[in-house]
Chains A and B, each alone.
Chain A
Amino acid sequence: MFVTDIRKEFYEAVADQRVALLVASDIDALCACRILQALFQCDQVQYTLIPVAGWQDLGTAFLEHKDQFKYFVLINCGANVDLLELLQPDDDSIFFICDTHRPVDVVNVYNDTQIKLLIKQDDDLGVPSYDEIFRDDDEDEEGGDSGNESDEGTEPSGKRRRFDEGSVERRIERQREKREWEARRREILFDYEQYEYHGTSAAMMFFELAWVLTKDTKDMLWWAIIGLTDQWVHDKVTHMKYVTDIATMQRHVSRHNHRNEDEENSLSIDCMRISFEYDLRLTLYQHWSLYESISNSCYTCCHFKLWTLNGQKKLQEFLADMGLPLKQVRQKFTSMDMSIKENLREVIEESSNKYGMKDIRIQTFGVHFGFKNRFLASDMVHATTALLESTEKDENETDNFIKALDSLSRSNLERLHSGMDLAKKKLIAIQQTVASCICTNLILSQGPFLYCYLMEGTPDVKLFSKPMALTLLSKYLLRAFIQSTRNKRCRLLPLIMAAPKDVEKGTVLVVGIPPESETSDKKNFFGRAFEKAAESTSSRTLHDHFDTSIIELKTEDRSKFLDALITLLS
């Protein structure tokens, strides 16, 4: 059931209990977890934090802890599947789920006792009403003959039947109604569960809880902003929703910044200041050189088509048009001339309009504490994602989770900077892979979708054995492909990407993303498609990730799985 008053039904219920937090591995979940940890620390609620990377981890963690905890809080996992059936808990376990995955499973919505959803009821849900799906079946009368199809249509014959004529007809009516109802139910459920998408950020939900409790701080606000920006960077929500949520956050930011700052009592430079920025869409540009950032950001790279010679020339023209000397532009951003940095954003916006890049600026937030430390929300997201999915040796997933969680604190700046270095490497790898895929025509049109497979020897292919990195690569690749292809029909197709995941076990990671368009609603149907294709070909797949459009597949089963998908989707 949906929780209406989050303070009474959630926070006050767990305030004097011990809670288990099961947190998924994405940045939004990490931010939400930090906010909740800060609240729990404030009120001295004892908790245990367990990172979970997939359904199997969730099941194991639950089994290990079910005897010790009664209250479980699941962050960014658990809403889109029938949780009670998956975990088989005891009757007194209570689950609080704050998840951005939609559609929310109908059993979770209509269970009144054990599942409490920390989701706003109007959050773009479209849940079918109770009567359309559940029916109390106590209408079978005694007196047999309940499933007899041959009764329908035949006239009642014989004297024995005439006595029951009325009741037989009623029974036939009822059976027909029931069949119709069941057909409608299947249709409704199919429509409801067909597309997968994302709702409001979990970090924002918990920030609202903190606000209602009036325990919100600037740190929590910043984490909520990072959670929201993560949804935008990884393209999980539509542009409209992002802008609406930014407006909500902007109200909180102005509330926190409302201080009588004047000459006499200005805040110390070390205090944390969050400000609204209408900043450039160039990834990490303040921590890199401007040239590198333009060459490696998806937006500029795709518009200029920087994998072609022509594109490189256009970039040089663009820089010359703005009057930026190459020497300056290739330096670290912090060492650029002040005269250039002053109006940089406006200058770039003006020039990019000439080159067809109308939205080079995007609404976002930045933080500023101390003399050296300025970060944009998207910088933090890239750095933390790189740490979370780092493929260095001897680091397992939980180590990375802990490192990424730590990097969100303001006191762990070295970790954040190391994350930024990893993010830069990842972006360069993505751009190089995109360039090579397009130049060697690795993207094949299979009919209802586009398909690309990264071979094992490709440079940096190890980076793409992680789901978020591979998803980011696919999105960039799709945008680049749309810019470079002349085939109009191909521009409206979705993309499936496969990359080797585990060489010893011989598996590949397969990711499906929806087609790219201006008005895309980011709804992904590949989850169900993958399930059905795997079933029909009995391929060995592992649907372990919380996003159903990301699966692991045995390399040998790749071709038959693809064939099944093609037949399914054409």
Chain B
Amino acid sequence: MFCEKAVELIRELQRISDGQLPAFNEDGVRQVLQEMEALYEHNQADVNETKSEQRADLLPSIRLRHCCLLRNQRCVGAYLYDRLLRIRALRWEYGSVLPANVRFHMSAEELQWFTCYKKSLASFMRSLGGGGGLDVTQDMRPPKSLYIQVRCVKDHGELEIDDGTLVLLKKNSQHFLPRWKCEHLIRQGILEHVVH
């Protein structure tokens, strides 16, 4: 049946709906494009035949194929766009350097798009704060205090804080540290924010 491959692409994205990026299904996209090409060829042939021989009975099949083409286009468009939205969210979550396994899942064009997005976000951030620049990707929720209490879940070795001193992160030790130093470690799961 027509358009099944395209719906397959959409289903793939829906299965992994929590913001993770699955690998770019190049095969699937290519198959859909091939199907579209095949449909288009058929339609072209039929249209020429209808015009030359004035046959009205081919019109329904032409219309059907046209609808399938539009459907395929919409599905592939949605697939590509949803992936771009996910990649954009990754910038806000991971920072400007993506981990290798995520980059592996992106196609070359998507990587290029990501670089352009990074550049425009960076120039936007630079323009804020009266020329001084402001990193808006930090503190996604307004922080309640400058320092937070964290507990170390795994051994991590030493962490250097702003005035040069080192903190030894040993399992089950608790620390009271500046918030901006701890956030990426909390995201990685090495520290745990202790709320009382």
Q: Please tell me if the beta carbons of A49 and B175 are within 8 angstroms of each other in the complex.
A: yes
A257 located at the interface, meaning its Cβ lies under 8 Å from any Cβ of chain B in the complex? no
B174 located at the interface, meaning its Cβ lies under 8 Å from any Cβ of chain A in the complex? yes
Residues on A with C-beta less than 8 A from B166 are 67-68
Q: Please tell me if the beta carbons of A411 and B168 are within 8 angstroms of each other in the complex.
A: no
Q: Mark A385-403, 1 if CB is under 8 A from B, else 0.
A: 0000000000000110110
Q: Please tell me if the beta carbons of B196 and A46 are within 8 angstroms of each other in the complex.
A: no
Q: Please tell me if the beta carbons of A65 and B176 are within 8 angstroms of each other in the complex.
A: no
- Assign chain B's interface to a size class: 20 to 34
Question: Of A37-45, A122-130, A190-198, A447-455, which binds chain B?
Answer: A37-45
- Taking CB as reference atom, which chain B residue is nearest A70? B165
The answer to whether A41 and B146 touch (CB under 8 A), given A18-B165, A48-B173, A68-B166, is: no
- Taking CB as reference atom, which chain B residue is nearest A38? B196
B73 located at the interface, meaning its Cβ lies under 8 Å from any Cβ of chain A in the complex? no
Q: Please tell me if the beta carbons of B176 and A40 are within 8 angstroms of each other in the complex.
A: yes
A262 located at the interface, meaning its Cβ lies under 8 Å from any Cβ of chain B in the complex? no
Contacting residue for B171 out of A41, A44, A64, A398, CB 8 A: A398
CB distance from A112 to the nearest CB of B (A): 27
A47 located at the interface, meaning its Cβ lies under 8 Å from any Cβ of chain B in the complex? yes
Q: Please tell me if the beta carbons of A399 and B172 are within 8 angstroms of each other in the complex.
A: yes
The answer to whether A47 and B175 touch (CB under 8 A), given A65-B168, A68-B165, A68-B167, is: yes
A51 located at the interface, meaning its Cβ lies under 8 Å from any Cβ of chain B in the complex? yes
Residues on B with C-beta less than 8 A from A50 are 170, 173
B85 located at the interface, meaning its Cβ lies under 8 Å from any Cβ of chain A in the complex? no
CB distance from A5 to the nearest CB of B (A): 25
B177 located at the interface, meaning its Cβ lies under 8 Å from any Cβ of chain A in the complex? yes
The answer to whether A41 and B149 touch (CB under 8 A), given A67-B166, A409-B196, is: yes
Q: Is the interface of A mostly helix, strand, loop or mixed?
A: mixed
Q: How far is the CA of A49 from the CA of B168 in the complex (A)?
A: 11
Residues on B with C-beta less than 8 A from A41 are 145, 147, 149, 176
Residues on B with C-beta less than 8 A from A49 are 173-175
Contacting residue for B176 out of A46, A64, A68, A398, CB 8 A: A46
Contacting residue for B196 out of A40, A401, A411, CB 8 A: A411
- Taking CB as reference atom, which chain B residue is nearest A33? B174
Residues on B with C-beta less than 8 A from A409 are 196
Q: Please tell me if the beta carbons of B172 and A48 are within 8 angstroms of each other in the complex.
A: no
Q: Please tell me if the beta carbons of A44 and B165 are within 8 angstroms of each other in the complex.
A: no
Q: How far is the CA of A401 from the CA of B151 in the complex (A)?
A: 12
Residues on B with C-beta less than 8 A from A411 are 195-196
Residues on B with C-beta less than 8 A from A64 are 168, 170
Contacting residue for B147 out of A44, A48, A51, CB 8 A: A44
Q: How far is the CA of A64 from the CA of B172 in the complex (A)?
A: 15
Q: In chain A between 350 and 389, which residues have their CB closer than 8 angstroms to a CB of chain B?
A: none
Q: Please tell me if the beta carbons of B171 and A48 are within 8 angstroms of each other in the complex.
A: no
Contacting residue for B151 out of A47, A68, A402, CB 8 A: A402
Residues on A with C-beta less than 8 A from B145 are 41, 44
Q: How far is the CA of A65 from the CA of B158 in the complex (A)?
A: 11
Q: Please tell me if the beta carbons of B196 and A402 are within 8 angstroms of each other in the complex.
A: no
Q: How far is the CA of A47 from the CA of B176 in the complex (A)?
A: 5
Q: How far is the CA of A240 from the CA of B195 in the complex (A)?
A: 38
Contacting residue for A48 out of B146, B167, B196, CB 8 A: B167
Residues on B with C-beta less than 8 A from A40 are 176
Residues on A with C-beta less than 8 A from B172 are 51, 398-399, 401-402
CB distance from A238 to the nearest CB of B (A): 34
Q: How far is the CA of A46 from the CA of B181 in the complex (A)?
A: 13
Residues on A with C-beta less than 8 A from B175 are 46-49
- Taking CB as reference atom, which chain B residue is nearest A65? B168
Q: How far is the CA of A48 from the CA of B146 in the complex (A)?
A: 16
CB distance from B158 to the nearest CB of A (A): 8
CB distance from A90 to the nearest CB of B (A): 15
Q: In chain B between 46 and 78, which residues have their CB closer than 8 angstroms to a CB of chain A?
A: none
Q: Mark A538-554, 1 if CB is under 8 A from B, else 0.
A: 00000000000000000
The answer to whether A48 and B165 touch (CB under 8 A), given A402-B151, A409-B196, is: no
CB distance from B4 to the nearest CB of A (A): 50
Q: How far is the CA of A46 from the CA of B170 in the complex (A)?
A: 16
- Taking CB as reference atom, which chain B residue is nearest A405? B174
- Taking CB as reference atom, which chain A residue is nearest B165? A68
Residues on A with C-beta less than 8 A from B171 are 398
Residues on B with C-beta less than 8 A from A44 are 145-147, 176
Q: Mark B135-179, 1 if CB is under 8 A from A, else 0.
A: 000000000011101010000000000000111101111111110
Residues on B with C-beta less than 8 A from A398 are 171-172
- Taking CB as reference atom, which chain B residue is nearest A47? B176
CB distance from B161 to the nearest CB of A (A): 8
Q: How far is the CA of A44 from the CA of B148 in the complex (A)?
A: 9
Residues on A with C-beta less than 8 A from B149 are 37, 41
- Taking CB as reference atom, which chain A residue is nearest B175? A48
Residues on B with C-beta less than 8 A from A45 are 176
CB distance from B67 to the nearest CB of A (A): 58
CB distance from A68 to the nearest CB of B (A): 5
Q: How far is the CA of A45 from the CA of B177 in the complex (A)?
A: 9
Q: Mark B185-196, 1 if CB is under 8 A from A, else 0.
A: 000000000011
Q: Please tell me if the beta carbons of A46 and B168 are within 8 angstroms of each other in the complex.
A: no
- Taking CB as reference atom, which chain B residue is nearest A398? B172
Q: How far is the CA of A354 from the CA of B76 in the complex (A)?
A: 89
Q: How far is the CA of A67 from the CA of B146 in the complex (A)?
A: 25
Q: Mark A1-33, 1 if CB is under 8 A from B, else 0.
A: 000000000000000001000000000000000
In this complex, the member of A40, A46, A402 whose beta carbon has the largest number of chain B beta carbons within 10 angstroms is A46
CB distance from B85 to the nearest CB of A (A): 37
CB distance from B194 to the nearest CB of A (A): 8
CB distance from A92 to the nearest CB of B (A): 14
- Taking CB as reference atom, which chain A residue is nearest B151? A402
CB distance from A152 to the nearest CB of B (A): 59
In this complex, the member of A49, A67, A401, A411 whose beta carbon has the largest number of chain B beta carbons within 10 angstroms is A49
Residues on A with C-beta less than 8 A from B167 are 48, 68
Q: How far is the CA of A243 from the CA of B149 in the complex (A)?
A: 36
Q: How far is the CA of A65 from the CA of B146 in the complex (A)?
A: 24
Residues on B with C-beta less than 8 A from A402 are 151, 172, 174
The answer to whether A46 and B174 touch (CB under 8 A), given A67-B166, A68-B165, A68-B168, is: no
What are 6 A-B pairs with beta-carbon distances under 8 A? A41-B176, A47-B176, A48-B176, A50-B173, A68-B167, A68-B168
Q: Give residues in B with beta carbon < 8 Å to A.
A: 145-147, 149, 151, 165-168, 170-178, 195-196
Across the A-B interface, give the 3 residue pairs with the lowest CB-CB distance, nearest first.
A398-B172, A49-B174, A409-B196
Extra 11 A-B pairs, beta carbons < 8 Å, given A48-B175, A64-B168: A18-B165, A40-B176, A41-B147, A41-B176, A44-B146, A44-B147, A47-B175, A48-B167, A51-B173, A398-B171, A402-B151
